[in-house]
Amino acid sequence: MKAEQTWRAVLGELEMQMSQASFSTWLRDSKLIAFEDNIFVVGVESGFIKDWLDGRMRSTVERTLAGIVGQETSVSFVVWPEPASPGPSSKFTLPDRVEETSPTQIVSSKRFLSLENFVSGPENSLALAASQTISEQLNPTQSPLFIYGDIGLGKTHLLSGIKHACDTKGLRAHMMTAEGFTNELVSSIKAGEGALFRDKYRQCDILLIDDIQFFLGKKSSAEELVHTIEQMHTRNRQIVLASNLALKSLSGLGRSLCSRIEAGLVIKISKPSTEVRKRILRSKASEHSLELTDDVVSYLAENIQTNVRALEGAIHHLSARDRMLGQPVNLASARLAAEQLSGSSASSGSVTSEHIIEVVATKFSVTPSELRSKSRARRLTAPRQLAMLLLQDSAGCSLSQIGALLGGRDHTTARYGCNKARELLSSDIAFRTKADDVLLLINKP
């Protein structure tokens, strides 16, 4: 069976396992982009859908895949800007030009992200102003610009907006994730084309890299980024970096890179206020031609406080019910959207990845830096596994994000940690007691 046929068969199985509304919202429009090294690379329309599938559906999809192909198989969800056009072969080749059509690219042509449609408030106004300044005129005095904040607060949107503005001016702008940067670096070295890789990124006008916490534990990639920044700095060119972690949590990247970031402009994005969340909801609803009454907007803004992606997910849910089921958008459907979005979005409040790590560390008498380290000390195993599970279930982190947050581990290690924590919750009373205490603390208003 060819890879494309296999993926269609998987979708058919999943459609029977899920509700029609859930399947339509999360998987119907997915596309098989590539099949290499026993990994199905699947493109989806937005970062929110990617994160939701990573956090909620990866194990189910991989189990379904294994049942069809007869062996253990992995799936990688990526944001994909263009519909794929698979050829007759069962093996697909990824395009060469990473900045335009690679799965690591973040901007979706179906969901245009610009600085003009970024909803600002006191929590992100400085980050927006800095981004606008760069988009109007490259400003090396604030390079690197480092934007950090928890998942789903608009960092990727800002980077995408800067890139679009630079593209319209004919500037050479490259935008990618840290994972994409690393993968291309490794591929170029294997192919003996390291010099071409360096020229490509060191000679551009602006380089934007998202999720730089991925560089934790990847010394060669971090060193390459340092050299790239130095070269671009001498040419008065711009670097923009984004991370889910604060700079103090990125010490594992090395002193050279951290000091270079410190010398630029460091800006934090915080969780939006209720009023800003209302504006975000109306903005997202307008993109879907969806009319929201004031009571619906107020309910969603007051009950979904995690991040912007969760708000966007609620709009997707309401839009799907309206279009596919013919159900009106009202307060009842808003309540259902909040409840079904992630199980805890409507009540989890300000649960963040850093807060989870800090609470787990305190309860188990270790330090947050130890949990984030690469140390395999036995005393860190159980608390780290609990942190992995809570990051997935309470903060909505993907397995790749969890691995990056906790020592630069890969997604398979994160998946094992989550599964092991679930086993301990059912078999170890002492562990379950501590986990209950941690949950009470992280969900405390």
Helix, strand, coil fractions of the chain, as percent rounded to 5: 60, 10, 30
Question: For every one of its 445 residues, what pLDDT tens digit does the chain have, with 9 covering 90 and above?
Answer: 577 778 887 887 787 667 665 677 788 888 888 887 678 888 887 776 787 788 778 888 888 887 777 777 888 888 876 433 444 333 433 333 333 333 333 333 334 678 888 888 888 899 999 999 998 888 777 889 999 988 778 898 999 999 989 988 889 999 988 888 888 888 888 888 888 888 888 889 999 999 888 888 788 888 999 999 999 988 889 999 999 888 887 887 888 889 999 989 999 998 888 898 899 899 888 888 888 889 889 888 888 877 787 888 788 778 777 776 677 788 888 887 777 654 443 334 446 888 899 999 999 999 999 999 988 889 999 999 999 988 887 777 888 889 888 988 888 888 889 888 888 876 777 887 788 778 778 766 5
My answer on whether 131 and 81 are in the same domain is no
Q: Report the distance separating Cα 371 and Cα 388, nearest Å.
A: 10
Instruction: Give the domain-ending residue among 238, 268, 298.
Output: 268
Q: What is the CATH number of the domain that holds 42?
A: 3.30.300.180
My answer on whether 131 and 258 are in the same domain is yes
3 state SS of 146: strand
My answer on whether 221 and 295 are in the same domain is no
Output the pLDDT for position 128: 93
My answer on whether 337 and 279 are in the same domain is yes
Q: Specify if 112 maps to a domain.
A: no
414's CB contacts (< 8 A; 6+ apart) are: 388, 392, 399, 400, 402, 403, 406
Q: What is the CATH number of the domain that holds 230?
A: 3.40.50.300
Q: Specify if 191 maps to a domain.
A: yes
Q: Specify if 65 maps to a domain.
A: yes
Q: What is the CATH number of the domain that holds 377?
A: 1.10.1750.10
The answer to pTM > 0.95 is: no
* Domain assignment of residue 193, given as a range: 125-268
Give bridge partners of residue 40 from the DSSP assignment: 35, 75
My answer on whether 286 and 244 are in the same domain is no
Q: Specify if 353 maps to a domain.
A: no
Give bridge partners of residue 208 from the DSSP assignment: 175, 240
My answer on whether 283 and 414 are in the same domain is no
394's CB contacts (< 8 A; 6+ apart) are: 344, 348, 351, 356, 439, 442, 443
Q: Specify if 101 maps to a domain.
A: no
Output the pLDDT for position 340: 62
Tokens of 70: 């007869």
My answer on whether 26 and 55 are in the same domain is yes
My answer on whether 190 and 298 are in the same domain is no
Helix H, strand E, coil C: the string for 106-120 is: CCECCECCCCCCCCC
Output the pLDDT for position 240: 95
Output the pLDDT for position 92: 37
My answer on whether 139 and 232 are in the same domain is yes
- Tallying the residues shown for the chain, one arrives at 445
Answer whether 261's CB lies under 8 Å from 241's CB: yes
My answer on whether 246 and 278 are in the same domain is no
Burial of residue 440 (CB within 10 Å: 0-12, 13-18, 19+) is: exposed
My answer on whether 301 and 387 are in the same domain is no
Instruction: Give the domain-ending residue among 206, 237, 268.
Output: 268
Output the pLDDT for position 421: 86
Tokens of 432: 């379950």
Q: Specify if 113 maps to a domain.
A: no
Radius of gyration of the chain (CA): 21
Output the pLDDT for position 415: 87
Instruction: Give the domain-ending residue among 41, 76, 93.
Output: 93
Q: What is the CATH number of the domain that holds 322?
A: 1.10.8.60
Q: Specify if 106 maps to a domain.
A: no
Q: Specify if 117 maps to a domain.
A: no
My answer on whether 427 and 300 are in the same domain is no
Q: Report the distance separating Cα 301 and Cα 432, nearest Å.
A: 33
Number of domains in the chain: 4
